[in-house]
């Protein structure tokens, strides 16, 4: 018990982790105060499902939030003991509600929206990953998210329409959540529960990550009690992370801020440049072949041969007719 290991995605923008699932587990563990050794993984290749977080306790390897909650409960660590059966039922219903309405919007904001993906999501994940995994995992996660959106909202529907539906559903969901929270400190009573960890994990990245297309983030920030909820939990549990981030930020301001972002971007840029050049070369060659540029070269020399031939044949034919005529004229008088 003394040595629970937790592998997570590294943090950014003052978050303990950039990933929803990691943040759920991390927050939950902070709530119960279980001793844990957190490690920022730089590749998820050797994890059971190719995803993080991974919690290891001796021989037990757990890969998602529900399993972690159940496992810790079996060790008599739980935040949900103060919930009565009705509240427990409600908590599980609300968890599904978030999964149903907010999760698609969350995934859309992080992965499907191309601008967010290329400006924020991919650099953030690339920075956490080691070469060569940073070429592979972000696009793999993006494809998974796109497939989910396609499966839920129809492959042939216009993406803009899907976006509108998703965000308006998410807005309703956030409003409902805010109504349910009211002015309480936590969702169930005055102590945190696993559901609070889930809500915090959804909302905190939306509040902190600097998305260029920030529809969902603005919706969260626009609801006062939810923003306060996020700030409160952050302050209580992740104060050191935020402080460190602020400190670094201040330092970076004096030295220059751009370099960091560029470093994260750089490997992708090189790759893209090489790929683009390769593609252009192939495309141009293909075009040239298609238009018969090479054929024309060969045709030209062929035509010259033919022309020479023609002269030769014409001369021969002329000679022969002359000979025949000569023969005829010599026959006739005879």
Through-space distance between the first and last CA atoms of the chain, rounded to whole angstroms = 131
Residue written as tokens 């103060």?
82
Binds other proteins by CB under 8 A, chosen from 281, 283, 308, 326: 283
In the bound state with other proteins, the residue whose beta carbon lies nearer, of 98 and 264, is: 98
Within 209-257, residue ranges assigned H as helices are 215-221, 224-237, 239-255
Query: One symbol per residue from 80 to 99: x for binding other proteins (CB under 8 A), - otherwise; what is it?
Result: -----xx-xxx-xxx-xx-x
In the bound state with other proteins, the residue whose beta carbon lies nearer, of 42 and 178, is: 178
In the bound state with other proteins, the residue whose beta carbon lies nearer, of 64 and 265, is: 64
In the bound state with other proteins, the residue whose beta carbon lies nearer, of 248 and 285, is: 285
Task: Give the CA angle between residues 232, 233, 234 to the nearest 5°.
Answer: 90
Residue written as tokens 């021989």?
59
Distance, in Å, from the CA atom of 171 to the CA atom of 105, rounded to the nearest integer, reads 9
Residues 163-222 that bind other proteins (CB under 8 A): 164, 167-168, 171, 176-177, 179-180, 182, 215, 218-219
**Contacting residues for 107 by C-beta, under 8 A, at least 6 apart:** 145, 148, 149
In the bound state with other proteins, the residue whose beta carbon lies nearer, of 263 and 283, is: 283
Assess 290 for contact with other proteins (CB under 8 A). yes
Residues 95-134 that bind other proteins (CB under 8 A): 96-97, 99-101
The token pair that represents 122 in the structure block: 């991919």
What's the closest the beta carbon of residue 158 comes to other proteins, in angstroms? 8
In the bound state with other proteins, the residue whose beta carbon lies nearer, of 131 and 144, is: 144
Assess 61 for contact with other proteins (CB under 8 A). no
What's the closest the beta carbon of residue 236 comes to other proteins, in angstroms? 25
In the bound state with other proteins, the residue whose beta carbon lies nearer, of 182 and 333, is: 182
The torsion angle over the Cα atoms of residues 7, 13, 15 and 17, rounded to 10 degrees, is: -20
In the bound state with other proteins, the residue whose beta carbon lies nearer, of 46 and 155, is: 155
Residues 216-275 that bind other proteins (CB under 8 A): 218-219
Beta strand extents in 3-105 (DSSP E only): 4-8, 36-40, 54-57, 60-62
Closest alpha carbon to 8 in 62, 49, 53, 55: 53
What's the closest the beta carbon of residue 106 comes to other proteins, in angstroms? 14
Distance, in Å, from the CA atom of 224 to the CA atom of 205, rounded to the nearest integer, reads 16
Within 48-132, residue ranges assigned H as helices are 65-74, 85-97, 103-107, 114-116, 122-128
The residues that touch other proteins, with contacts defined as CB under 8 A, are: 85-86, 88-90, 92-94, 96-97, 99-101, 144, 147-148, 150-152, 154-156, 159, 164, 167-168, 171, 176-177, 179-180, 182, 215, 218-219, 283, 286-287, 289-292, 295-296, 299, 302-303, 306, 309-310, 313-314, 316-318, 320-321
């Amino acid at each position: 018990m003394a040595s629970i290991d937790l592998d997570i995605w590294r943090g950014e923008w003052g978050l303990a982790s950039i990933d929803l699932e990691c943040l759920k587990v991390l927050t939950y563990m902070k709530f119960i105060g279980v001793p844990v050794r957190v490690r920022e993984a730089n590749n998820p290749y050797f994890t059971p499902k190719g995803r993080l977080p991974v919690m290891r306790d001796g021989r037990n390897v757990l890969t998602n939030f529900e399993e972690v909650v159940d496992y810790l409960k079996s060790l008599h660590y739980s935040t949900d003991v103060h919930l009565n059966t009705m509240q427990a039922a409600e908590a599980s219903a609300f968890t599904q509600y978030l999964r149903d309405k907010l999760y698609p919007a969350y995934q859309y904001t992080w992965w499907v929206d191309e601008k967010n993906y290329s400006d924020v999501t991919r650099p953030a994940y690339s920075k956490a990953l080691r070469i060569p995994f940073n070429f592979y995992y972000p696009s793999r996660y993006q494809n998974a998210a796109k497939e989910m959106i396609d499966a839920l909202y129809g492959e042939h529907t216009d993406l803009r329409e899907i976006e509108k539906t998703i965000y308006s559903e998410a807005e309703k969901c956030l409003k409902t959540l805010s109504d349910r929270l009211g002015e309480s400190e936590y969702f169930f009573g005055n102590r945190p529960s696993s559901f609070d960890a889930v809500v915090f994990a959804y909302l905190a990245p939306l509040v902190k990550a600097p998305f260029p297309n920030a529809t969902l983030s603005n919706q969260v920030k626009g609801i006062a009690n939810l923003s306060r909820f996020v700030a409160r939990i952050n302050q209580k549990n992740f104060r050191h992370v935020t402080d460190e981030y602020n400190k670094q930020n201040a330092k970076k301001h004096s030295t220059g801020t751009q370099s960091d972002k560029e470093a994260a971007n750089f490997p992708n840029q090189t790759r893209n440049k090489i790929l683009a050049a390769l593609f252009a070369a192939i495309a141009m060659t293909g075009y040239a072949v298609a238009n018969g540029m090479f054929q024309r070269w060969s045709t030209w020399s062929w035509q010259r041969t033919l022309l020479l031939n023609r002269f030769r044949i014409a001369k021969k034919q002329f000679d022969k007719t002359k000979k025949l005529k000569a023969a005829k004229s010599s026959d006739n008088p005879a």
